[in-house]
Amino acid sequence: MLSNIFRFPGLSCPTEALTGDTILDDYIKRLDKQLWGSAKIRIFTLAEVKNHLVEAKTGLMQSGITEHEASIKAVGSMGSIESYSNVQRKSLKVKLLKIGLQSGILFGVFMGLYQWIIEAHNNKVFINPLTDGIVYGLFEGAFFGFFMGWFATLVWPERNLPSHNIPDNKFCVEYSKPMRFLSKLVIVVFCLMAVWCIAVSISEYPSRVPVKVMPAEDKQLSSYLYQPWWLFIGLGLLSGLNIFLVRSGCRSFQINQDGFWINQWFARKQRILWPAIKSIGTLGETYGWIPSWNYWRKVKYINYVLSNGKTRRIYLYPDMLNADKFILLLQAKVGMKD
């Protein structure tokens, strides 16, 4: 029963993974039962195993044995089902925990703060505003984190096989239309909640002062912030942001392994950013990669004070050769004299 939660939707073995040979299909079905994720996720593992079984069976048949024997031998050579399913489940488990933890913390902090702010100025307090905020944050964060982890890891990605129309034949995943709509809706609703939360927190703070002495302008501010057109402004801004993110490729994903997705933007960043960095010069001519944060942290510089009083900064990159550093500093010094 519990394992079925991890296999929803599409509990039965996907038909694309079946070969038509009962012996091979039996193995594939038994393997499918051990895998996690929706049918669209499980196919990543099943398709590879299916291909292997078909190839092995054909090879054996060419060596002169009957189809039935070839099927039995091909299945026999595959070994235990667990060796495949364990790898798939482990990778999904890691991803589930990662996404669950991230979204849980985000949502938990958000809801905790919201509860704290709300309780700070009304009488419906359970223990005290801060404790209630923490309790709410933990509870809702855990619940939401688990849901998001499950949904984003095991349900969300849609298979796109075969992917021959995609450059380099990358194994890509696209979201279906309803999923794309839902994703937009979720982001918009969340951002609206954030806007609303900020508006409420700002507008409610003056009300901590007893109503009788609340200045008129504060009341005005409060009613101003409660105006529903704030929501429309937020909606407009977020739609704009969404369009920007979609256009720039930040909202589409590429998959490389069982459910491991790579953001298109990151997948393409080398192609996009590389020419830009190359145009800067030094790094581009020397290095064929995008420097990490750790790399930038180690970049040192020396300030040279020029004769006209201006400062010239010479950057020394951590993996430069000492000879290069020396030449650079020498050039800077010569330049300074000029």
Partner 1 sequence: MVNAQNGAQVLKGLLDTLVLQVLDTKDNYGFGILQNISSQLDGDNMVLREATLYPLLHRLETKGLVESYWKPGQRGTDRKYYKITKDGKNYLKYRISDWKNVSNILKKHLIT
Find the binder of partner 1 among 5, 26, 48, 273 (CB under 8 A).
48
Determine how many CB atoms are found less than 10 A away from the CB of residue 40.
21
Residue closer to partner 1 by CB (options 27, 114) is 27
Residue closer to partner 1 by CB (options 79, 309) is 79
According to the 3-state scheme, what is the secondary structure of 35-74? CCCCHHHHHHHHHHHHHHHHHHHHHHHHCCCCHHHHHHHH
Which of these ranges, 53-61, 217-225, 271-279, 312-320, lies near partner 1 under the rule CB under 8 A? Answer: 53-61
Tell the smallest beta-carbon distance from residue 52 to partner 1 (Å).
Answer: 5
Residue closer to partner 1 by CB (options 53, 238) is 53
Q: Which residues, at least 6 apart from 305, have a Cβ–Cβ distance to it below 8 Å?
A: 311, 312
Find the binder of partner 1 among 30, 52, 298, 312 (CB under 8 A).
52
Tell the smallest beta-carbon distance from residue 257 to partner 1 (Å).
Answer: 5
- Residue 290 lies near partner 1 (rule: CB under 8 A): no
Residue closer to partner 1 by CB (options 171, 190) is 171
- Residue 51 lies near partner 1 (rule: CB under 8 A): yes
Distance CA 32, CA 23 (A): 14
Distance CA 313, CA 66 (A): 77
Residue closer to partner 1 by CB (options 89, 222) is 89
Which of these ranges, 55-63, 109-117, 278-286, 325-333, lies near partner 1 under the rule CB under 8 A? Answer: 55-63
Q: Copy the structure tokens of residue 11.
A: 């509990």
- Residue 20 lies near partner 1 (rule: CB under 8 A): no
Residue closer to partner 1 by CB (options 289, 315) is 289
Q: Copy the structure tokens of residue 282.
A: 């030094």
Residues 114-173 within binding reach of partner 1 (CB under 8 A): 161-164, 168-171
Tell the smallest beta-carbon distance from residue 305 to partner 1 (Å).
Answer: 42
Residues 68-87 within binding reach of partner 1 (CB under 8 A): 77-80, 83-84, 86-87
Q: Which residues, at least 6 apart from 71, have a Cβ–Cβ distance to it below 8 Å?
A: 21, 23, 24, 57
Distance CA 295, CA 275 (A): 19
Find the binder of partner 1 among 42, 112, 258, 259 (CB under 8 A).
258
Residue closer to partner 1 by CB (options 20, 309) is 20
Distance CA 180, CA 182 (A): 5
- Which of 269, 267, 47, 257 is CA-nearest to residue 171? 257
Find the binder of partner 1 among 35, 47, 148, 152 (CB under 8 A).
47
Question: Do 112 and 137 touch, CB atoms closer than 8 A?
Answer: yes
Distance CA 74, CA 94 (A): 31
Distance CA 21, CA 219 (A): 76
Residues 173-212 within binding reach of partner 1 (CB under 8 A): none
Question: Do 207 and 214 touch, CB atoms closer than 8 A?
Answer: yes
- Which of 44, 94, 20, 171 is CA-nearest to residue 31? 44
Residue closer to partner 1 by CB (options 50, 251) is 50
Residue numbers at the binding site for partner 1 (CB under 8 A): 19, 47-52, 54-56, 58-59, 77-80, 83-84, 86-87, 91, 161-164, 168-171, 256-258, 260
